[in-house]
Amino acid sequence: MSGRLRGSASIVGLGQTEFSKSAGRSETRLAAEAIVSALADAGLPVESVDGLVSYTIDPVEETELVRSVGIPEVRWSSRVPYGGGGSQGVLLHAAAAVAAGVAEVVVAYRAVKARSGARVGRAEVSGRASSSHAGTTAGQWCTPYGVLTPASWMALNATRYMHASGATSEDFGRAVVQMRAYAAANPNAHFAGRPITLADHQASRWIAEPCIRLFDCCQETDGAVALVVTGADRAADSRAPVAVAAAAGAGVFEEEVASNHYRPDLSVMDSSVALAAQLFDEGGVGRDEIDVAMIYDAFSPILLMQLESLGFCGRGEAKDFVADGHLGPGGRLPCNTNGGLIGGGYIHGLNLTGEAVRQLRGESCNQVGGATTVLVTSSRTGVVLRRG
C-alpha cells in the first residue's frame, strides 16, 4: 500500500495554536483556529476543503467543526483508531483519499486540552465513554490493579526493556537532556529557555520506578495542530510543499498506544518493526537517507526502544547511540528538534509532524542544514516526508 501512495500527496499547509497549560477555550475552537491558520499557510480557501481526518479519541465533533469553520461540503472523512500511536495514520488516510480521488483537499487535525481538560496522565478508574481506552485491554485488565495511566501501562514494557538492554534511568535521562536542549532553543516549546542537566533529570521524582521519572514524561498541553494535504499536482502551485514520500500504518495492531502487554518479547516494539518494514523495505526509503527523525517520545524509554525497533541501531545499542550524541546537532540522526513531546508539548504527535514540515522548509528553530528527508513515527504509524 505504502509503495502505491509514494509521492502522490503533499502537505501544503501547517497551522497551530499556541501551546499552553490552559488554553481558555474549547477544543473545537482550538481545532478551528489551527485549521484556518493551516489553510492560510497553504494559500487555499476554506471552501476548497472536502476531506477531514483526525484520531478516534479527538473530542471535536465533525458537525461542530464544519459549522464553525464554514466548510460547505465534506466528501470524505475518517478517523484513525485510538490516540498518539496512530498520529501519523492521519497522513496515510489523507494521502490515500487524495490518491483515490475521493477528496482533493484534506485537513488533518488534532485538538487537545490535556492540561486543563481531562488530563491524560491523571489517574482515573472509570473509563471515558468514547472510543478511547475504556473497553479495550488496557481498561479491562489494568484498572483493577491500579495501572491507570499511560505512564504506568508503558512502564511495564520499559522495565522489561531495561532488563533486556541494560539501559538505565541515566540512559533515558541523556535522551531527555537532548530533548530539553532542543526545546530550550524553541520559543514555542513548553520548556522554552529551560534546559536541564542529567543531575536535574535524576533528581526528578519517580512516576514509575525503575523506568519513568517525572522528566521522562511528555508535557500535557492545550493546543491544536492542523495540516493541509492535497495531490502532488495541485501542491506544485503552493509556497513550500512537502511530499509524503511514504506513509504506513497499523503495524502489529494488538495495541492502542502503550498498552501492549501480551506480545512475547516486550523489549521490542513489534509495531515499529512492522512499520519500518513498510516504510523502508516496501516504501523504498533508505534509513541512511533520513536527515532528521521525529520519534514519538511520550515517555523517554519508548524513544530508545523505537530507535532499535526501527533499525537505526542494534538491539541494546540505543543507550550508546544516545550517549554518543547521535540525537543531537551533528549526530547521525538529529531527533525531535522541536524538543519532542517531552520538551516541546504533547499534541498527541501531530506537533512532531509540524516540526518535520518546518525542517523541510528550513524554518526550524534547530534547523538541520540541508535537510531533505524527514521521518516521523509514532510506534505503529509513520511517514517519510521530502522537500518539494
Partner 1 sequence: MVTGDNEGFWSAAEEGRLVVQRCAGCRALHHPPRPMCPDCRSVDLGWEQAVGTGVVYSYALLHHPQHPAFEYPVVAALVDLDEGVRLVTNLVDVEPHQVRIGMPVEVAFEPTADGFAVPVFRPRGAP
Ranges within 74-113 binding partner 1 (CB under 8 A): none
User: DSSP per residue over 144-202, as a string?
Assistant: GGT--SHHHHHHHHHHHHHHHH---HHHHHHHHHHHHHHHHT-TTSTTTT----HHHHH
Among 338, 340, 336, 356, CA closest to 240: 356
Check if the beta carbon of residue 264 is closer than 8 Å to that of residue 341: no
Site for partner 1 in 254-313 (CB under 8 A): 261-262, 266
Query: Is 134 a binder of partner 1 (CB under 8 A)?
Result: yes
Q: Give whichever of 21 and 122 is closer to partner 1, judged by the CB atom.
A: 122
Measured from the CB atom, the residue of 120 and 279 that comes closer to partner 1 is 120
Which residues belong to the active site? 296, 346
Residues 358-365: contacts with CB within 8 Å, 24+ apart? Answer: 358/14, 359/291, 359/292, 360/240, 360/242, 360/385, 360/386, 360/387, 361/240, 361/242, 361/387, 364/337, 364/338, 365/182, 365/185, 365/186, 365/187, 365/188, 365/337, 365/338
Site for partner 1 in 167-206 (CB under 8 A): 205-206
The three cell numbers locating residue 12: 501544503
Contact between 129 and partner 1 per CB under 8 A: no
- Judged by beta carbon, residue 47 or residue 170, the one nearer partner 1 is 170
User: Which window, 130-138, 324-332, 341-349, 350-358, contacts partner 1 (CB under 8 A)?
Assistant: 130-138
Closer to partner 1 at the Cβ: 23 or 138? 138
Of the candidates 230, 231, 199, the one whose C-alpha atom is nearest the C-alpha of residue 213 is 199
Binding residue for partner 1, selected from 1, 3, 47, 141, defined by CB under 8 A = 141
Work out which of 209, 237, 281, 288 binds partner 1, going by CB under 8 A: 209
DSSP 52-67: EEEETT----HHHHHH
Q: Tell which residue, 56, 100, 41, 60, has the closest CA to residue 76.
A: 100
For 346, the 3-state DSSP assignment is: strand
Q: Report if residue 123 touches partner 1, rule: CB under 8 A.
A: yes
State the minimum distance, in angstroms, from the CB of residue 259 to partner 1.
9
Question: How do strand 242-248 and strand 212-213 relate by DSSP bridges?
Answer: unpaired
Candidates 4, 128, 163, 315; binder of partner 1 (CB under 8 A) is 163
330 belongs to the binding site for partner 1 (CB under 8 A): no
156 binds partner 1, rule: CB under 8 A: yes
**Cis link prior to 144 (omega < 30° from 0)?**
no
Instruction: Convert residues 24-63 into a mask of x (bound to partner 1 by CB under 8 A) and - (unbound).
Output: ----------------------------------------
The phi-psi region of residue 349 (left if phi > 0; otherwise alpha if psi is between -120 and 50; otherwise beta) is left
Q: Min. distance of Cβ 152 from partner 1 in angstroms?
A: 5
Q: Work out how close the CB of 268 gets to partner 1 at its nearest, in angstroms, rounded to a whole number.
A: 13
| Closer CB to partner 1, 26 or 143, in the complex | 143
Asked if 135 touches partner 1 (CB under 8 A), the answer is: yes
Shortest distance in whole angstroms from residue 162 CB to partner 1: 9
Closest distance to partner 1 from the beta carbon of 75 (Å): 35
Tell me the C-alpha to C-alpha distance, in Å, between residue 289 and each of 35, 245, 285, 386. Answer: 31, 12, 7, 10
- Window of 81-89, 131-139, 277-285, 368-376 that interacts with partner 1 by CB under 8 A: 131-139
Q: Is 116 in the site for partner 1 (CB under 8 A)?
A: no
According to DSSP, the β-strands at 76-80 and 105-113 are unpaired
- Interacting residues with partner 1 (CB under 8 A): 121-125, 127, 134-135, 137, 139-149, 152, 155-160, 163, 205-212, 214, 261-262, 266
